[in-house]
A and B are shown apart, each in its own frame.
Chain A
Amino acid sequence: MSLFRNIVFTAVIAGLLSGLLLTVMQSFSTVPLILQAEVYEKAEGGHSHEHATAPADATAPAGPAAAATAAHEHEEEAWEPADGFERFIYTAAADVLSAIGFALVIIAASEALGGFGGWRGGLMFGIAGFITVILAPGLGLPPELPGMPAAELAPRQIWWISTAACTAAGLGLLAYTRSAVFAALAIVLLVAPHLIGAPLAPSHETSVPMDLYARFVNAVYATNLVFWAVLGAACGTIRNRLRTGEEAPAGTSPKLATR
């Protein structure tokens, strides 16, 4: 169990570091833009989230059609953190939890493939993570601001998860195999989700200004690139220092193993 314990411990430290850094970056970049977009979202029609076509008075259903729409939405407002400090704390917690989760996955993947071998290897895994989780899904489903039209949630989530899985497998094949067949398979895996295509929004009409949206998209890509680079490098560094109780991996120097 020492391997599991060491990986979890490494992931928690790396996730805390990079998740908190991400939260700080977001509170200067993406979160102010989300708050601005919410002003437009609320002006557009109460708390109606996805259906831009829903009537503005969906919160006070008049007929059966409106009632059905309202029932599909949040029929009674669920708890949400109060704006300000409370909301910031929940965002920080969600960032750190996601970061620890991502760290667990990339450390497990790297161990199965022979280890990071230091911070540089970790950085490479971090960049692969960025491509897998942000860049590839973002090609079909760009970052969204509140109040922007989008297709149904479940198909988008399925496309997102499938794209991330295909991209991860494709990058892994490209990096860790040497045969032309696998390279071809990797390219198919990388390209196929985009040929199939993401679920599209029914309309593009939104009251969120395009300038706000452009700044948000840039901010998402920039903050996440830094986040993934730091997460990967931190995983690579810390993993090398936390190996107590593990049998020395053959192929690494004994000095490293006894540390």
Chain B
Amino acid sequence: MAINSAATSVSVSSSKIIPLSMTALLGLFMVGFVGFSHLDVVHNAAHDTRHSLAFPCH
């Protein structure tokens, strides 16, 4: 089963590359916007979240 899925993932992946990379980029953008944006307004709104998730803040 494990071998099987590992083998098929290679053949399936070509059709999945675009949706999966879009998903991952969307996710990274969201985390980046909430946690790493230098805009003061975003910083202030997400302040407690940034501290509580141990993101570099201030």
Interface residues of A (CB under 8 A from B): 1, 3-4, 7-8, 11, 22, 26, 30-31, 34, 49-50, 74, 78-81, 87, 90-91, 93-95, 97-98, 100-105, 107-109, 111-115, 117, 133-134, 137-138, 141-146, 150, 153, 156-157, 160-161, 176, 220, 223-224, 249-252
A-B contact count (CB 8 A): 163
Interface residues of B (CB under 8 A from A): 1, 4-6, 8-9, 12-13, 16, 19-24, 26-31, 33-36, 38, 40-41, 43-58
Q: What DSSP secondary structure best describes chain B's contact surface?
A: helix
Q: Which of B4, B38, B48, B55 has the most CB of A within 10 A?
A: B48
Complex contacts, B54 vs chain A, CB 8 Å = 134, 137-138, 141-144, 220, 224
Identity of the chain A residue whose Cβ is nearest the Cβ of B31 in the assembled complex: A101
Q: Is the CB of B34 within 8 A of A98?
A: yes
Q: What DSSP secondary structure best describes chain A's contact surface?
A: helix
With A94-B34, A105-B24 already in contact, the answer to whether A3 and B16 are too (CB < 8 A) is yes
Q: Is the CB of A34 within 8 A of B48?
A: yes
With A94-B45, A112-B13, A143-B51 already in contact, the answer to whether A153 and B58 are too (CB < 8 A) is yes
Q: How far is the CA of A117 from the CA of B38 in the complex (A)?
A: 38
Q: How far is the CA of A145 from the CA of B50 in the complex (A)?
A: 10
Complex contacts, B43 vs chain A, CB 8 Å = 78
Q: Is the CB of A251 within 8 A of B5?
A: yes
Q: Is the CB of A105 within 8 A of B48?
A: no
